[in-house]
């Protein structure tokens, strides 16, 4: 099994600092959350790990792979799944073709598509429907399912609850907990602190681009200072 290690990560957009000196690890089978208010630097951190944002870092490594030297499109081959903010499904393609595109690193004859359909039965029912015709919640399921098609060792998710009803948020939470229980490591970036505390065992709280607090999710959930100062709860 493989550990994701990030040390001294900083992200700048021109003269604007989005993240500074961020460090964390995601151990095999671990579920780690990054929470904070809007604009805290969560998404920039995740995009930088994936090589999708301008970055500087001491280390970004997944096992033996130096991700600072790896082009973004190769990360899936190293066992890293990614669910971007906003889902980014291909609206003009069917649900099934969207899923198969997630398995582009291997033969389409040997994909975990049946496992995805078991996890999300609605996707099986709608497998021939255009992805653009799905509801927001169904598209989020599709985005998660697509990332699972590469059989990742760790999955990075960016704001999967965005725009979803509480019922659908609870359903996504249930799926993430099931995947983690089955051994998939998870790095979850969320503004929804309740979802993150429910899904993860450890959390980082970001403020102004830096790690302001870290600890066990259950402890942070009940920490009045974290709730008041960093989360506005």
Domain span at 228: 1-79+156-165+181-233
pLDDT number for residue 231: 65
DSSP H or E segment with residue 119: helix 113-119
Q: Is the domain of 6 the same as that of 70?
A: yes
Same domain, 1 and 32: yes
Q: Are residues 133 and 196 in the same domain?
A: no
Q: What is the pLDDT of residues 81-127, one digit of tens each?
A: 999 998 899 999 999 999 999 988 776 678 899 999 999 999 999 99
In a shared domain, residues 59 and 160: yes
Domain end: 129, 151, 173, which one? 151
**Cβ-based neighbour number of residue 173 at 10 Å:** 19
Within this chain, do residues 3 and 71 fall inside the same structural domain, yes or no?
Answer: yes
Q: Do 21 and 33 belong together in one domain?
A: yes
How wide is the angle at C-alpha 211 spanned by C-alphas 209 and 216, nearest 5°?
145
The answer to whether 203 touches 33, Cβ cutoff 8 Å, is yes
> Are 144 and 161 in a shared domain?
no
- Candidates 184, 109, 112, 106; CA nearest to 146 is 112
- What b/e readout covers 46-59, taking b as 16+ CB neighbours within 10 angstroms? bbbbbbebebebee
pTM of the full structure: 0.92
User: Structurally, how many domains does the chain consist of?
Assistant: 2
Q: Would 175 be classed as within a structural domain?
A: no
């Amino acid at each position: 099994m493989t550990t994701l290690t990030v040390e001294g990560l900083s992200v700048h957009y021109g003269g604007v600092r989005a993240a500074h000196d961020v460090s964390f690890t995601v151990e095999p089978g671990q579920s780690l959350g990054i929470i904070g208010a809007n604009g805290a630097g969560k998404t920039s951190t995740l995009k930088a790990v994936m090589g999708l944002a301008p970055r500087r870092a001491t280390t970004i490594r997944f096992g033996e792979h130096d991700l600072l030297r790896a082009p973004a499109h190769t990360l899936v081959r190293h066992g890293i799944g990614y669910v971007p903010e906003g889902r980014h499904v291909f609206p003009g393609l069917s649900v099934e073709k969207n899923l198969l595109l997630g398995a582009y690193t291997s033969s389409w004859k040997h994909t975990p598509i049946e496992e995805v359909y078991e996890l999300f039965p609605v996707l099986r029912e709608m497998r021939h429907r255009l992805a653009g015709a799905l509801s927001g919640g169904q598209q989020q399921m599709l985005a998660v399912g697509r990332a699972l098609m590469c059989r990742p060792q760790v999955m990075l998710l960016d704001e999967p609850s965005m725009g979803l009803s509480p019922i659908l948020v609870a359903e996504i939470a249930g799926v993430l907990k099931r995947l983690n229980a089955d051994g998939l490591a998870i790095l979850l970036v969320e503004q929804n602190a309740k979802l993150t505390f429910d899904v993860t065992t450890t959390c980082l709280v970001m403020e102004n681009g830096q790690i302001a607090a870290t600890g066990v999710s259950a402890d942070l959930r009940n920490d009045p200072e974290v709730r008041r100062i960093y989360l506005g709860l």
